[in-house]
Structure 1
Amino acid sequence: MSQRRMKITDAGPFFILFLTFCSFSSKISIAAQNTITSSTSLSGNDTLVSPSSTFELGFFVRGNSTYLGIWYKKISIHTVVWVANRDTPLANSTGILKIDGGNLILSDGTTVVWSSNVSKTAVGQPVAKLLDSGNFVLSEGGDSNSDSFLWQSFDYPSDTLLPGMKLGWNLTAGLNRFLTSWKNDNNPSSGDYTFKMDANGSAELILSFQLQPQYRSGPWNGLRFSGVPEMTPNEIFGFDVVSTPDEVYYTYDLLNSSLLSRLVLNNTGQLQRYTWAEQDSGGGLWSLFWWAPKDQCDDYSECGPYGVCDVNRSPVCDCVKGFTPKSPDDWYLRVTSGGCIRKAKLECGGDGFLKLPGMKLPDSSRAVANISMSLEDCRIECLNNCSCVAFASADIRGGGNGCIRWASDLIDLREYPDGGQDLYMRLPASQLVIEGGNNGRKRVTVIVTVTLASLLLLLGLGFALYCIRKKREKTKHLKSLRTGSKERSQDFPLTDFDSLSAGNEISEESRKEDFDLPMFDLETIAIATDNFSDINKLGRGGFGPVYKGKLIDGQEIAVKRLSKNSGQGLDEFKNEVILIAKLQHRNLVRLLGCCIQGEERLLIYEYMQNRSLDSIIFDEIKKFKLDWQNRFNIIMGIARGLLYLHQDSRFRIIHRDLKASNILLDSQMHPKISDFGMARIFGAEQMEANTRRVVGTFGYMSPEYAMDGVISVKSDVFSFGVIVLEIVTGKKNRGYYEKDQQLNLLGHAWKLWKEERITELMDASIETSCPMSEVLRCMHVGLLCVQERAEDRPMMSSAVLMLSSENARMPEPRQPGFCTGRSIFETDSSSSKKESCTINQVTVTMLESR
């Protein structure tokens, strides 16, 4: 007996080793497979891998929390596409995923934090499996037939739509599949933005912020969504919308199975479609293929009911033919949310339809759709229903068929030069002739019109003479304004149109529209500002003082008053009147009108409740009002405003004086770029220009502009980079010195970056409210934008992409320009002894600091 015990004891270590190996082998088998059964589990560093190794499921960490998710396995950038417990994270890295009672259960060992919550009972043995599509499924016996799925992750999307996923409703099961943004790049919990299929009326997709619509795709028309004209058949993607009594959903497929693509709703409220691009040097990056919203006309109901938006028009909003602004005064001030009303009431028995081509169809949530009806039957049906206001084809393929009818106000209309579809608007017969339609009633209407014209001839003539006299008085003022200070305008193409470069000529018609801006009389503005009292003075710039005011209707305004002693104020005034009135973007300050009376020159703007960025970000007390999310939103807003100026506006605009004091903040801390007095307009293909008159602000001017007078979009990019670093750090670029050195903010940031200590520069007031990865990304982009060589700096389109995507590839920054705290233009004799990071020493003939 003792000998036998001795043998067992001697064999003990080998037995323990055998058990350990078996346990380790069990874990290896799980990691190498793509399934979990009732006898296995997933924990720690274990992962499931899809059969072709495209996707991987396991645990990942964000911040101090652990999540169960799915990501791409083959690519170099860790890209999460689905999160199980996004709103119930594990407090530590200990997590166990297993099958229990026919359900997938995720727990921390004691508490269940997430479950698949399957209601039906499996007949066979349930098996969880990760498929090559990225779908994590629970089925009986591991069956890959979708009909046998007890549960699937594709039914519960996070922020990403993969090829083959359905976005929309399973009406039988009462299941709504939609995207929800992450809180931020470091927090996968549900954010404020959602992207859903609207199953009412005709199928369309709606992006919302806290349930308020922000963007709409337009109804599906058989080929594409009517509000996405670029959604054309191609060799990469196949798109489809299925609408049956049981299901209404959108889906897309990759026609080349070797490609990778995803549609993501990011935490700033933008839809982005990416494709993976391999690099010759190895690795790869996510390339932005498409995004929305793109411009001002993508904003939901930008022009109100019966208003039509067109980005190629200035202003962008106009009324549908047969309609007029509901509030002409508001529209004159570019406040178009009230929309339009009919010029003449519908007659019901004597109406017709006016064809409006190239339209994004209006909000169809309350429309009626019938796919089996012909377009002609649709017209008759709408004509016989007095409440029907418009109709269109539900499917534009094969000449058009199906029917969508609207019986309520038409919301969120947009016109495209190439794209969209035909919309048929109901108008009374009298308006059809005026708008060019319904020839059958033209003769009668012409007779009536001629008769009325004859009766009203004298009245009309008198009114016309009155208008001509008033216009001459106005033109006289404007002519004197345009011709004044001509010698000072030679470097300002905006105020001297004849000096524009080739390819950037402005037509005579455009010249006449230069001052198409509401004109206020001096008495109105004096009353609004309490006769320009010091109590209402908001500040003073190179242009002159700025006053707060309130119009009679209660609207708050900001008034810039040209100083009589300002040498550059007149040029600024002309620049802003001509330029900013033509610019329409949510991140540009809105010019409401101007006043030209006697020697007074006034610009009237929308009032920004939180004043300028510099008044908050550099104030040791006020800066606490700006948590990290606010600061990041401000950075993104400035970036999008600059992108619009450089790329998406009617003209390419270089601001030239971008700085913290020219960024204004509204009541919600939304940023708006202001002060276009120094701006330059470029031709469509023009990339840079030279000027003999260098104007701007020390600390924000790029080296090539300050030294050589070279202006380009990269000049604004440099200024933007300085602002980004100032927002993140809460410190001014000029006047900031490191101990025992004369480094400004750029120089100090560069020094800390090289020493991998850049986080030490972050403003202490945001340490508890920021995801470090997002802060580092902003600092990285800021340093890329302030590089000494203009060609090294990114375009604003690249800067926006890098800021908005954690997966964007970013190069290493090079040495910034003007790294020293003392400007090379300052006249202190000691300045010659200081070494500047900028080596270009070309002399500037004239420099004006503001």
Structure 2
Amino acid sequence: MIRRKFMVPVSATHMLSTIFFFLCSVLYCSARDTITPENWLSNEGGTLVSAGKTFELGFFNPDGSSKIGRFVGIWYYMSKPQRVVWVANRKNPLPLSDTPSGVFAIKEDGELKVLDANGTVHWSSDIETSSSSTGRVVKLMDSRNLVLSDNRSGVILWESFHNPTDTFLPGMKMDENLTLTSWLSSVDPTPGNFTFKLDQDNEDQYNIHDSFVSYWSSEDSKGTPDEMPDAILSLLSNFSKTGKPTSSRKFYNRPLEILSSKYKNTSRLVMSSSGEIRYYLNPNTSSPDWWAPQDRCSVSKACGKFGSCNTNNALMCKCLPGFKPVSPNIWKTGEFSTYAETYIKQERGVTDALECLIWTDDLTGLQDEYASDAYNLSVRVAISDIKPTVRNCETCGSNMIPYPLSSGSKCGDSTYFNFECNSTTGQVQFKVPGGAYRVTSINPETLTFVIQLKEADCSSRSLIPPLNLPFHLTDVCKEVGTDNFGSEMSLKNSIEVEISWDPPLEPVCTSSADCKDWPNSTCGTRDGTRRCFCNENFKWNSSSLNCTQGVNPAESTKPADQKSSSSSPVVVVGITIAVVLVAVLGIIGYIAYLRKRTITKRKENRANQVLHLYDSESRVKHLMDSEQFKEEDKKGIDVPFFDLEDILAATDNFSDANKLGRGGFEPVYKGKFLEGREIAVKRLSRASGQGLQEFKNEVVLIAKL
């Protein structure tokens, strides 16, 4: 009998059971909520999930980025985007090269640690009484708390609620030992600059610090939109303080306290990297339901001492009237940590309907726009500091309106009457035919002011209002809301443009009495306008706004580019004319010089000839008068005598054209007197070789002709 061996297939039921067991094992491993010394958490994808599936712990990359490193943290289970509430190794992430081998484990010394592949510790729980890992277990609770305890005694050795990062959760209690520290940025869990903690001296006050400098205080925010709601105060005390609700703030059209009761187990407080403490009711929302500081002006001492803040302005701070920035250049950059100072010693006071108080503390935390429950403040300063001319308009809130700008018929210059003061808000508006625009700043030194345009951007040039003289657009445009605050604290869809005004002419007047405040001026009419014109020897100074002797500084200090642009054609024409004139004068002078030189030479030659001839004539006369002539010779000579000038004129200065020839000794020239008689002239010289006897014979011969 032959036996056959048969391969018996595994039954389908057995295989399904095996697969089910395997999947259950995997689910058990991936969904567990505890860590033991023998069963740690690896960086290869495993996580802890709380029993109620509300929170999850594991390795993560912030915001999915792989540039910073790997961290161990706790986040809301299945949240997208991942909302992390606690981070272990925020100061020391796992390097990317070690990413596959990191572990979160209870080590032999009983400490909970984050280690890399080399065994280097990146974070430790730092338990004071650590000794052994025996019996120790880590558990992620549904309360969001990560607890390290002794499983044998039930004693809690360490918990994340006592070691928070940036988030405060229900079940925690804010005391003097607890501090929330912001992330360095929204994607970097590294400790940032901002901290939130309980005040050491006041158990009902909470403070935010920026690198140990006071940044915001719940005490200072009372009575303002920044006031901390009672629901948050209750949350911070772990619901041990439940006073009567005082906040009138509403969310989703319901009181915050009602909503807080509904979201009691899901609310949280977060110290953000941008400096706000943010309150969230629902873990699935990314927008906070309350935050503080709510705007840039809510920051503690945002504008320093004697500075006023307006969060609607790009440059939010300015000094009170009569004060100036200690460091103007720093203020222009938007850094207001320095303060404003006055020119004189000041007193401060606050008034209400019943009393006036005086105190000696510095004024800080002032805001520009009025609130219904605000106080009116009075600060004593010198009149000259806030009213340099009698024509200045009254201050509008904390805004000075300098001459010649006008907000009324009795101040400023009527040509500049384009401004209006809103006494309700304390704001100045610039009015043009197209509408009215809020003025954010006025600078009398540069003759400029800035207006704000809503619902606009710098590319929408058509939205900028048309301007008439004496106003000009300086083509400066700045986007509002580009500061370092969070999105909730920025202004959007607004721009600020800078406008300049022309220096004013003499003040308008109707009578001489109107000019009494303008020394050295008299009311008069010119070009159909009556103004306080300066007296003789004085000139209107548009910079100092008075009549002064000398040149107007406003003209001498005109910008170089403005000078060159306005005077360049005149300069070119002037230079051209000057060059041509110099060239013509030079040519004329040169020709005159040549003519004078020729005439001078001619006169010198003639003088030389005259002297030469005169010398010859003297010699002849000398010979004739000397004893060498005998008496009988003299009697035989009857020769007429002629003046030398007549002979020179008759022979044309002995020119070669009149030369007849040359005798034995000297040349002979023909000549013609004015009356027409012709003559022949023999010209003698010192070098003549003719002897005395020959000369005598020749004279006698000529005389006998």
TM range (shorter): 0.3 to 0.5
TM-score, normalised to structure 1's length?
0.39
TM-score, normalised to structure 2's length?
0.45
Bigger relative CO (Cα 8 Å, ≥ 6 apart)? 1
In terms of fraction of residues, the more helix-rich structure is 1
